[in-house]
């Protein structure tokens, strides 16, 4: 039996910077910085809420981060423009390598799940809008636990929901904090290093594998299992 793959959604399957062209209409040449800071604060707010045990959904973190970014970048979006951006966040595009890669992994027998900080409802809508929901067995959301990655409990939650063991489950993520969290919790993990300039956090906890595209996953994981003498498990 092929391993179970837990795909992070935001930043791995879905391009969180997919609204730059829309942001540019108001923010001009600040658009790329605006998108980067918005994403950075969104994650920071989820980390802080997890540590404080003061849960609010990822959508609330996204909204709060947008307000902060407008102030930080000194960009004045109207209330209507903010709502339009937040609504567009529900239909962000998938990366170009996603659909074909998921099709191939599914055909090879991998058990494929989405595993996200977003609520089940938001992620279901997002993946459906991107045309990739049909390739996934299910969506597992941290919202069930009212916490966020990289709390070790949410990785255990994924294993419970998917029926996989830590040794047979692989997290696939473009986010180093998520990879570190999964490995620390006993899973294997692949870091999707889409940019040559991306840096992995120097914590002494390394990804099991590193790929530059999801198209490399099937061959990379299969080769790893052969080298380790594990076989499909």
Mean pLDDT, rounded, of the chain: 96
Answer whether 169's CB lies under 8 Å from 189's CB: no
Tallying the residues shown for the chain, one arrives at 233
Answer whether 166's CB lies under 8 Å from 181's CB: no
What global pTM score does this model have?
0.95
3-state SS class at 32: helix
d(C-alpha 107, C-alpha 192), whole Å: 21
- What mean pLDDT comes out for the span 24-31? 96
Answer whether 55's CB lies under 8 Å from 49's CB: yes
Tokens of 152: 């070790």
Q: Show which residues are catalytic.
A: 8
d(C-alpha 61, C-alpha 48), whole Å: 10
- What mean pLDDT comes out for the span 187-211? 97
pLDDT at residue 166 above 90? no
Residue 52's nearest CA partner among 128, 147, 178, 156 is: 147
Q: Give the pLDDT score at 231.
A: 62
Q: Give the pLDDT score at 2.
A: 86
- What mean pLDDT comes out for the span 140-156? 97
CATH number of 20-91: 1.10.150.240
User: pLDDT category, 167, cuts 50, 70, 90?
Assistant: confident
pLDDT at residue 229 above 90? no
- The reply to whether 20-91 shares the fold of 4-14+92-227 is no
4-14+92-227 to CATH, choices 3.90.1010.10, 3.40.50.1000, 3.40.50.920, 3.60.20.10: 3.40.50.1000
- What mean pLDDT comes out for the span 119-144? 97
User: pLDDT category, 232, cuts 50, 70, 90?
Assistant: low
Domain layout of the chain by residue ranges? 4-14+92-227, 20-91
């Amino acid at each position: 039996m092929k391993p179970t793959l837990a795909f992070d959604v935001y930043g791995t399957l879905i391009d969180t910077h997919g609204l730059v062209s829309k942001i540019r209409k108001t923010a001009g040449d600040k658009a790329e910085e605006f998108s980067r800071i918005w994403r950075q604060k969104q994650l920071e707010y989820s980390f802080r809420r997890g540590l404080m045990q003061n849960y609010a959904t990822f959508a609330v973190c996204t909204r709060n981060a947008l307000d902060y970014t407008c102030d930080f970048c000194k960009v004045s979006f109207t209330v209507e423009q903010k709502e339009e951006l937040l609504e567009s966040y529900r239909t962000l595009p998938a990366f170009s390598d996603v659909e074909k890669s998921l099709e191939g992994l599914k055909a090879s027998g991998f058990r494929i799940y989405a595993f996200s900080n977003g609520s089940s409802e938001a992620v279901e809508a997002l993946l459906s809008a991107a045309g990739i929901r049909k390739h996934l067995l299910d969506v597992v959301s941290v919202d069930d636990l009212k916490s966020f990655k990289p709390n070790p409990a949410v990785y255990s939650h994924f294993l419970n929901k998917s029926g996989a063991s830590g040794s047979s489950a692989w997290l696939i993520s473009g986010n180093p904090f998520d990879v570190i969290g999964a490995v620390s919790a006993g899973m294997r993990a692949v870091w999707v290093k889409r940019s040559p300039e991306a840096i992995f956090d120097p914590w002494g906890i390394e990804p099991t594998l590193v790929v530059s595209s999801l198209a490399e996953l099937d061959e990379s994981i299969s080769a790893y299992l052969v080298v380790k003498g594990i076989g499909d498990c």
